[in-house]
Amino acid sequence: MTDPIRIPFDEAPKQGEMIELAQGVFWARMPLPIALNHVNVYILDDGDGWTVVDTGVDTKLSRRLWTELLSGPLSVKPVKRLIVTHHHLDHVGLAGWFAVEHGAELVMTRTAYLMARMLQLDVQDAPTPEMIAFWRSCGMASDILSKRISERPFNTADVVGQLPLGYTRIKDGDEITIGGRIWDVRCGDGHAPEHATFWSRDHALVLGGDQLLGSISPNLGVSATEPFADPVGEWMHSCAAFQNHALESQLVLTGHKLPYTGLPARLAQLIANHHTALDRLLAFLSAPHAACDCFVPLFKREIKGGEYGLAMVEAMAHCVHLYHNGLVTRSLREDGAIVWQRKDQQ
């Protein structure tokens, strides 16, 4: 049998270029200074102007690439509206630039806007006690912990410009016209709270952001802000809800990697992958472990370098999910790490 998940494009657009995916729907990429070195952005033709979906981070390079697009293939009309799918810095970084410099209306969900604005304003020159306590609770390796404590932490404001005071709210259940199509707004949780996705009424396209990624799974992590949240449970609940609307024919325009078709199969795959990962984790927790001990059973590989932070918060989130479902207990170790253990092994 052929794979029901198909990628109809051989390659992504190069820096400074656009690819037309459907009539009046264009795809470009902005670079990121991390291992996942790009974010997808989309530009839709609204007749008298453009609507941009997501922006990339606020760096000199990103501004230059956008300026080249705006003065080149997009110069025939202004950017009138910017839609941001969720609050993460690689999607909202240039929102203020588009709003202030180009007069674009900023459109987001309320939670996404408030989270982005809060994080952009929260600038710390040294790790806070809450940050350090959270890192300890995850069982962060002592050498990495010592290094982090001695360094200035990364701040959202390092790559996200100041956001405008006002925005236009969208919410789950809304309908919105973009690029001559009517779209249903459907929100998910887990990767980011109130993450907006957009489903065209002609069943041709879905703007999925990071909620509906194709070849990779979105990071589902907790943080010092809400260390005992359950993003894993919220995300699987969202995936199950999206299954009611998914069709084989829909081209899913994703926040990273390549657009694809076969959304029903992809949603089933994403849910199944996390269930099997949770099964492996639960088996490993027959003995007591901190979250950072769980990388190999959870991710099936060693975690090194720049991946460590994302792996840590995701491992912690999976342990917390098992705890919320009554499958593990938690206790505090002398070094401040939370130790998790399967209930029936105590």
pLDDT value, residue 34: 85
**Which H or E element spans position 319?**
helix 308-324
Give me the mean pLDDT over the 220-247 stretch. Answer: 97
Domains, in order of start, for the chain:
19-263 (3.60.15.10)
Give the C-alpha distances (Å, rounded to integers) separating 179 from 34, 80, 324: 31, 12, 42
In which band, very low, low, confident or very high, does the pLDDT at 10 lie, cut at 50, 70 and 90? confident
**Which tokens go with 95?**
């929102």
pLDDT exceeds cutoff 50 at 57: yes
Strand arrangement, sheet containing 79-83: 19-22, 25-31, 38-45, 50-53, 79-83, 105-109, 168-170
Amino acid at site 171: K
Render pLDDT for 289-316 as a digit per residue (tens, 0 to 9).
999 999 999 999 999 888 999 999 999 9
Q: Are 31 and 60 in contact (CB under 8 A)?
A: no
User: In terms of C-beta density within 10 A (0-12 exposed, 13-18 middle, 19 or more buried), how is residue 196 classed?
Assistant: buried
pLDDT tens for each residue of 80-118: 999 999 999 999 999 999 999 999 999 999 999 999 999
Mean pLDDT of the residues in the chain = 96
If you average pLDDT over residues 13-35, what whole number do you get? 95
| Cα–Cα distance, 197 to 66 (Å, whole number) | 23
The predicted model gives 128-148 an average pLDDT of 97
Note the pLDDT of residue 305. Answer: 83
Task: Give the per-residue pLDDT at 3.
Answer: 66
Q: What is the pLDDT at residue 289?
A: 98
Evaluate if residue 183 carries a pLDDT over 80: yes
With cut-offs at 50, 70 and 90, classify the pLDDT of residue 35: confident
Tokens 């293939």 belong to 73
Residue 6 has pLDDT above 80, yes or no: yes
Tell me the percentage of the chain whose pLDDT exceeds 90.
95
What is the arrangement of strands in the sheet containing 205-209, beginning at the earlier edge strand?
Answer: 175-178, 181-188, 195-200, 205-209, 251-254
Span between the terminal Cα atoms of the chain, in Å: 46
DSSP output for 204-265: SEEEEETTT-SSSPPP----TTSTT--HHHHHHHHHHHHTTT--TTPEEEESSS--BB-HHH
Which residues on neighbouring strands pair with residue 83, listed in sequence order?
53, 107
Low-confidence winner among 147-161, 163-177, 298-312 (lowest mean pLDDT): 298-312
Locate tokens 């994302």: which residue? Answer: 310
pLDDT at position 1 is 39
pLDDT of residue 346: 59
Mean pLDDT of 224-233: 97
* Residue 344's pLDDT band (cuts 50, 70, 90): confident
